[in-house]
Amino acid sequence: MTLQLASRLGTVKPAATMAAKLVVDRLRATGKTIVDFTIGEPDFPTPDHIVAGGISALSTGKTRYTAPGGIQPLREAIAQKLLRENGLHFSPDEIVVGAGAKQIIYSALGATLNPDDEVIVPAPYWVSYPDIVSLHGGVPIIVSCGVETGFKLTPAALERAITPRTRWLILNSPGNPTGAVYTRAELEGLAAVLRAHPHVWVMTDEIYEHFVYGGAEHVSLLSAASDLGPRTLIVNGMSKAYAMTGWRVGYGAGPLKLVKAITLLSAQTTSCVTTVSQIAATIALNGSQACVEEAVALFHQRRDRMIALLGGIPGLMCSPPDGAFYAFPSVSGLIGAVTPQGKTLVSDLDVTLYFLEHAGVAAIDGNAYGAPSYLRMSFATSIEQIEFGCNALKKAAEACTFPLSKNTEQSDA
């Protein structure tokens, strides 16, 4: 008898970042040297004091189940963090801990979406947002936000997207893949629209909040519009700021009814987050934040170096991102180019594959993020790897040629 899978799986694609990592690992296993600009995680280990706290928890027998919503000390530490860093008041009961921020997002949508409910997803978007919506029977409403708006949703575009079936708006600032950071004024503009539509809830993903550069400042939506608190879920976690991707600790802060619903789903899925991970996360939040500050300074240097090098590659255009740790260059200047192997590059995926095969550099095509003609390139890697990889990209781009018609168009522009 043939196993029949649920029809809803037909709407879901493998996560582009994980798929890219598998390709990189496979190529490396064959002996090829690959510079990996795909994966979105810090390249350095979890800070020593956090690891030591985890080891201590293991050695003292703290290895049993916890409450599904998270241990009390961690939820208290999260509440203190939100007050200290964001000026937001939450009680520990209004906070739920999950196995990564992704589980919080998944459970929140699972607890609130009915078939054909709509969720507004600004594009470019993190690859999992639309798929998680679809898995729960919802309809992702993709709103394209181009470079002309800084890859950010405008009040007018939000107003046009809202219908009576809209249940959620998902905001991500600093954003993956673009690094876009919403200003206080921009958030206030969106909030003005949302006030006219009280049936729309807001999920604000702030996982990259610490990684802002230059004059940019992270502002939480509720800091700009506290009156939206009764219908807002803040999503965050430990993965990026504390280099704890494998520990799998995320959290949500929001209205008690929603937090209880997410906790109920956690009790029936993961039961709880690993005890030792929760203890380590508590230590991370309550301890010195110097490790976070050092990471931000390091990524700032890497951002500047990658942007400078990308600016010298023919066919690529890239503005410095205000946040996160990704460059998001346009490769439209390479569309139509012919590789030394005689292949015409007709899409961002073609460019991605060409760079992988002939430069040994892995990136992710923008189409995976709802933004064709772009690439996402992580600078969460060493300066040496950034320089080596970007120099290889430059050589590969310079080896391409354009048909006469393309050259004529460029000279006429």
- pLDDT of 343 > 60? The answer is yes
pLDDT band at residue 412, thresholds of 50, 70 and 90?
very low
Q: Summarize pLDDT for 158-172 with one digit per residue, the tens.
A: 999 999 999 999 999
Residue 411 has what pLDDT?
A: 40
Q: Among residues 241, 260, 287, which one ends one of the domains?
A: 287
Same domain, 316 and 403: yes
Q: Evaluate whether 173 touches 119 at the Cβ level (below 8 Å).
A: no
Same domain, 198 and 305: no
Read off the CATH number of the domain in which 83 is found. 3.40.640.10
Whether residue 45 is contained in a domain is answered as no
Whether residue 50 is contained in a domain is answered as no
Same domain, 273 and 186: yes
- pLDDT of 405 > 60? The answer is no
Asked whether the CA dihedral 283, 284, 285, 288 is positive or negative, the reply is: positive
Report the greatest alpha carbon distance in the chain. Answer: 72
Eight-class DSSP state of 243:
T
Same domain, 321 and 346: yes
Whether residue 23 is contained in a domain is answered as yes
Same domain, 277 and 295: no
Whether residue 405 is contained in a domain is answered as yes
Residue 400 has what pLDDT?
A: 96
Whether residue 39 is contained in a domain is answered as no
**Helix (H, G, I), strand (E, B), or coil: what is residue 131?**
helix
- pLDDT of 413 > 50? The answer is no
pTM over 0.85: yes
Whether residue 40 is contained in a domain is answered as no
Q: List all residues 6 or more positions away from 201 whose beta carbon is below 8 Å from its beta carbon.
A: 112, 167, 168, 169, 231, 232, 233
pLDDT band at residue 404, thresholds of 50, 70 and 90?
low
Average of per-residue pLDDT across 337-364: 94
Helix ranges (DSSP H) in 268-403: 275-286, 290-310, 348-359, 383-398
326-327 β-sheet, strand order:
326-327, 375-378, 364-365
Distance, in Å, from the CA atom of 190 to the CA atom of 173, rounded to the nearest integer, reads 13
- pLDDT of 149 > 80? The answer is yes
pLDDT band at residue 29, thresholds of 50, 70 and 90?
confident
Residue 14 has what pLDDT?
A: 67
Same domain, 13 and 148: no
Q: Encoding tokens for residue 218?
A: 């992270």
Residue 408 has what pLDDT?
A: 40
Q: What is the CA radius of gyration of the chain?
A: 22
Residue 19 has what pLDDT?
A: 66
Same domain, 371 and 235: no
Residue 364 has what pLDDT?
A: 95
Q: Among residues 235, 255, 287, which one ends one of the domains?
A: 287
Same domain, 166 and 234: yes
- pLDDT of 97 > 60? The answer is yes
Residue 15 has what pLDDT?
A: 65
Average of per-residue pLDDT across 106-130: 97
Q: Summarize pLDDT for 67-96 with one digit per residue, the tens.
A: 999 999 999 999 999 999 999 999 999 999
Residue 243 has what pLDDT?
A: 97
- pLDDT of 321 > 90? The answer is yes
Distance, in Å, from the CA atom of 101 to the CA atom of 97, rounded to the nearest integer, reads 9
The residue segments making up the domain with residue 274 are: 62-287
Same domain, 16 and 76: no
Domain count, the chain: 2
Read off the CATH number of the domain in which 385 is found. 3.90.1150.10
Average of per-residue pLDDT across 145-149: 96
Q: Summarize pLDDT for 206-219 with one digit per residue, the tens.
A: 999 999 999 999 99
Eight-class DSSP state of 317:
B
Written as one letter, the residue type at 24 is: V
Same domain, 314 and 354: yes
pLDDT band at residue 402, thresholds of 50, 70 and 90?
confident
Q: Please tell me the least confidently modeled range out of 4-8, 33-37, 208-212.
A: 4-8
Q: List all residues 6 or more positions away from 210 whose beta carbon is below 8 Å from its beta carbon.
A: 218, 240, 241, 292, 295, 296
Q: Encoding tokens for residue 229?
A: 């608190």
Whether residue 51 is contained in a domain is answered as no
Residue 409 has what pLDDT?
A: 47
Q: List all residues 6 or more positions away from 339 whose beta carbon is below 8 Å from its beta carbon.
A: 345, 354, 358, 399, 400
Place of tokens 């049993």: 64
Q: Among residues 236, 254, 287, which one ends one of the domains?
A: 287
pLDDT band at residue 7, thresholds of 50, 70 and 90?
confident
Q: Summarize pLDDT for 365-389 with one digit per residue, the tens.
A: 999 999 999 999 999 999 999 999 9
Asked whether the CA dihedral 63, 237, 135, 3 is positive or negative, the reply is: negative
Same domain, 143 and 180: yes
Distance of CA 201 to the CA centre of its chain: 20
Q: Encoding tokens for residue 57?
A: 């928890």
Torsions phi, psi of 317, nearest 5? -135, 130
Q: Please tell me the least confidently modeled range out of 191-200, 236-245, 354-363, 395-404.
A: 395-404
Average of per-residue pLDDT across 133-148: 97
Residue 17 has what pLDDT?
A: 63
Whether residue 47 is contained in a domain is answered as no
Average of per-residue pLDDT across 194-222: 97
Same domain, 124 and 241: yes
pLDDT band at residue 18, thresholds of 50, 70 and 90?
low
Q: Summarize pLDDT for 262-286 with one digit per residue, the tens.
A: 999 999 999 999 999 999 999 999 9
